[in-house]
Structure 1
């Protein structure tokens, strides 16, 4: 690991997931992989947008460096969240990884049409899920150059 990696600020990751079991599995995968990035969790599309726009209970929320977005959400589904993110100049810079149980070709195409940066199908096996989390975390935070956070 380079000195630059050690001094890098932890990233803020927004997990938009309504299934408590999947939230717990994601948190456990982060712990098992010793991922030091901060995981923020919201349970539906409306709350995700409140977090991103820093409204209501999320007025002090940080701007996430990456969004993990389930498609099947209450109140406002993942497609609607993706569409709103894509229409906002500042939010559209945040990479969005769709993390869903759907293997539907229509969902995959629609997600990319709405500018998702990746489409990941949740593995059923917890060990495979942990390995997937480790892989995407390494890719997005060690290899990819993300845009800087805008300072307000």
Structure 2
């Protein structure tokens, strides 16, 4: 499957998911709880529903951002600059484009721009073993994960 087909399929998937999220969020709290009155509801039940709605809002925002990246990648494809790093102007690695067709940075520039997240002191006191170590490893948009996977399962 070529880059254009991948991007168009991803765009269609994202638009459908966004549409579904928007429809779900249009309903009010009373309709979502399927109750006649909010008065007799336990505050914990309402808090749980509010949490779910806020989580859905966050997911919707992430989907919108991802859709913007896909649309920009389609524009780059049309203008002939697809596969070119927007930071350094060099070529983006083919395997990176295969995994992340919407990417606009080569791996070197992506790593340079990666946020250097420092865990709060209270989290550093707890030992999470491998999870803590892999938390930083997975940050570069799945590319590092793909490299490791490819080493374990060569084609």
If the length of structure 2 is used for normalisation, what is the TM-score?
Answer: 0.23
Bigger share in helix: 2
Bigger share in strand: 1
Q: Does 1 or 2 have the higher relative contact order (CA < 8 Å, sep 6+)?
A: 1
If the length of structure 1 is used for normalisation, what is the TM-score?
Answer: 0.23
